[in-house]
Structure 1
Amino acid sequence: MLGIIGWCIEAEVIDSVDAFKSLDIDASKKYLLVSQTTFNSKTFDEITDYIEKKHLTNVVAENTICDATRKRQDSCLELASRCDVMLIVGSKTSSNTKKLYELSKKVCENTFLIENYKEIPYKYIDKKTIVGVSAGASAPDWIIEEVIKMLENLNNDMNEKNEQAEQAGTMHELLENYGGVSYIRTGERIKGTVIYVTPEAVSVNINYKSDGIITRDEFSMGEVQDLTKLVKEGDEIEAQVVKISDQDGNVVLTRKPLEEHKVWEELEAMKNDGTVVETIIVEASQFGIYGKVKGIKGFIPRNQISINRNADPSEYVGKNLKVQVLETKNNKGRRQLVLTSRAIEKQEKEAKDNEVWETIKEGEIYEGTVKNIQDYGAFVEINGIDGLLHINEIAWTRIKHPSEVLKTGDKISVKVKSIDKENKKLSLSYKATIKSPWALFLDKHQKGDVVTGVVTRIVDFGAFVMVDDIECLLHIKDLDWARTEKVTDILHEGQEVTAKILNITRKDRKVSLGMKQLVEHPFDKYAKDLKKDDIIQVEVTRILLDGVHVSVNGNIDCFIPIAKVSTEKLRTPAQVVKVGEMKDAKVLGIDLKGKNLNLSFILEDKGDEFENTEAASYQPEEANFTIGESIGNALGDLLK
């Protein structure tokens, strides 16, 4: 009825014609009258008669009472009218059984609703009493038969054993003394003798009209493979009744409930002792996994599965797992078993870790796995223990983040830098297991090699060039054969350059590079066709107190001493030349080795002492004051 009401927008429940009369029937609406299948057919007829009498044409009545129920009710009513005592057999919660009881009660005052033979009201029955029996649709046949059999035995006993009945004191005791067969009920504990055993089932004589059957699955809380190895014919066995009669007429028995109390006591002891047992995981959910211990299904919460917090419960199904009893809850009479495997895993890991801490050695190299990466470094697991690989120990070159070199799950070799056993700390180095860039550079390059690199920094005295992860110095004087005033006139950061290794200082780990060394010296090219006494054009570039610097061919720097500037005796060359002036100069000598020219502004042949073309070049010291100061001091009055 509740189901029907749930589907209806508007519904009213009535149980009599008076209840129907109290309804407010709206003539503009249509109504449907239906009945519970076990409803009193007489009452339903009374309601339909009233509908016809009042001409309620907008009310449609559908008789949904079960035909078998209707016939049962009619038969019950007819039988009850002829009996002194009426017994209605069935469940006290059954609707159709209650309806039979109510109908019978109307015509037979001594009507009783009973569930089995033990509830027969013997005090209302004597040898002259006419007893009628009816039953609800759900009442099992064997229960009805038991009630009828008890009444038949009762009738015989009353006629033949009246004296014994008086001594017994009650009709129930009399019934127990006769019949030779015990009477059992569901849930009752009984004892019997094993009469037959197979690997799958045990047959038991329980002093009942049928034998009891205990299947392998119902024999024990634990796993049973073969019953013939546990019991034999003639063994006395105790069990609990599950069902009075199965499809073969046997009494279905179980031993599990008898063992359960004992098993829970054992589980409690296991919890206190910390006993470790194995279980097969049979089920998984998002909250955890399930396995059986001593036949009791236990729950392992997700946070108790493993020390790995990210463990996937579904991966454990079908696997054997070591567990301990964590809790044996009793929630309102319902026992709950909570297990843990994490505690065991933690204990085993601690034992293994202690062993590793005793055997690991400083300075040794071990294989490890990158487990976690942080801004300051990475954690690497070695034989189950974690060590810190600081960012400074990851690479020989500077990196901003460990992820530039490593990723989680990488298998790497690391060297143990230091061990703190007391605080369980391990310091590791990855770069110590690989050759440094400097070592690799030395293996690959030597002095005189031509290399390619990228300009990383520019300073006043030159530029730094990265070659195979080594920063090398390219000095300003080695950029070009011509004098370079600014490095930025030739180079910029990020520029790729080719240079020659001029020097490698192993002790200081320094490398010097040169670019001009890759091209022919401009002096060599110019001097090929030059000979002594040739007259060439030069440009005055600097004026000193003791001479002037000139540029030959735009890229060869030469010095002309003051004695070769003029035939006149001068206090400073500025008296006769100026910067930027183009002048003719005579070649007095060519120094091929020193890559210098001996020049003179005096073009007339004065019998110079420079007879040898290999004459040593003159290398004067540059004045420590400017040309302006020189002119001001030496020719102040003249310039004024």
Structure 2
Amino acid sequence: MSENFAELFEESIKSAELNPGTLITGQVVDITNDSVIVNAGLKSEGNIPRWQFVSATGELEVAIGDDVEVVLDMVEDGLGATLLSRDKAKKAAAWRFLEKAAEEKETVIGVITGKVRGGFTVEVGGLSGFLPGSLVDVRPLRDTSFLEGKDLEFKVIKLDEKRNNVVVSRRAVLETEYSAEREALLDNLKEGAVLKGMVKNLTDYGAFIDLGGVDGLLHITDMAWKRVKHPSEVIEIGQDIEVVVLRYDEEKKRVSLGMKQLGEDPWVNILDRYPVHSKLSGKVTNLTDYGCFIEIEDGIEGLVHVSEMDWTNKNVNPAKVVSLGDEVEVMVLEIDDTRRRISLGMKQCKGNPWQDFSAIHKKGDKIKGLIKSITDFGIFIGLDGDIDGLVHLSDISWDEKGEEELQSYKKGMELETVILAIDSDRERISLGIKQIEQDPFQEFLASNDKNSLVKGVVKEVDAKGAVIQLNDNIEGYLRASELSRDRVDDARNILNEGDEIEAKFIGIDRKNKTINLSIKAKDDDEEKAVLSDYSQQNASTPTLGDIFKNSMEDK
């Protein structure tokens, strides 16, 4: 035993009664895998569990020959051994340390180790303490993860060794530090000043920045020139950043900060850099139901509206065309530098299929395609370039009504059509099926002049008149009033279905494509012809008076 230890031991014996709980000094005389052997000058050496001498990092804190403080648990147990505790000695020392810090209002170093109801657990001076949530900072923090696991300064505000209760405050430390810093900062705070600060808290609308005694608000719109959906995209809690003072309300002590203002505004001279109709590449940064946003340079985004993504699919799902992070080629369609909006187009970087079609085909050309869809107003035909042409109901058949004719067409059928019109600007192509053949109505008019006689068969008859089938495709109508010069109250009294008739072609109903007929007019014409012939015959035969007159003149 060294003289120093002997002296220390003798001193400890004199100054303390050797009762359980007494704090004494001993010397490490041996270390095993499980225990540390300490000689405290008692009847026997004490075996203390090795773990009581291991630090938080797992290292052994003592070596043979070191003097250590221990607590006497039992002078002698039933087996004649002395029980000592290094752990209790540490706690006793920690309590003395915290009592002194509380009395002298000094700060202590601690580490936030976890969350509990109402606050946090803090390891301070080897003891576990409680940090109320309201005392973490000078203002409420939504996220405290940046404080956890770090050495922080606290003030002890409550101690109760009997209840093993330790309460600390970080807010008290900050208020003390901030009071002097705050006054100095406020005295020199002015708009345009560039300051350094730490991100304390994030919200949906921005971030609170600790400037050193004063908090400032960095609004989300002042974080970057580009669109920011959430502050966490740009900064994180605990990060040190540089900001500029945008506004300072001295009366309310409110400070508005900016980050993007530290760099040059990318919208300056943007019209010179990106002329309308120029093509460029950009990255997809956001997808919406109405389009996608493209970043063409840092801080500058443009919108490709869904209608500008594809020439043919107007209701395209943007997510099926592009993905976040994709590099795409776009064309500048419009720039509103006042409202800071750019309209971009993707389809304009590809060939316009409507113009391509117009360059190859012309009105009157015949073209084939498959039926893509059938609607109430017509048939859509798929054409080259993944575009559609429309056959309107009125252009399906010369004979039948379009609604009835639709019944004979099915999706996927191949049809031959005639191009009726091409409007590449409005992206419309009009097609016709019936125009493949000559209009039978026009053929009839070309073969039969108005006022000529035509023949037909009674197809239908009612009181008002009769429908006359003139040929396979053309019908005429014979009103009851045109049946005879005599009054006819009911056409059925004169005509029957299947009767063959001859009538005069007296008019055209172009809307309904029917020929107006008249038997009465035919009869009138025939009577006039008979009278005319009779008059001519009478004019060439001499009367008895003419003969007598001529004979008298000869004499």
| TM-score using structure 1 length | 0.34
Larger Rg: 1
Which structure is richer in relative contact order (CA contacts within 8 A, separation 6 or more)?
2
More strand by share: 2
| TM-score using structure 2 length | 0.39
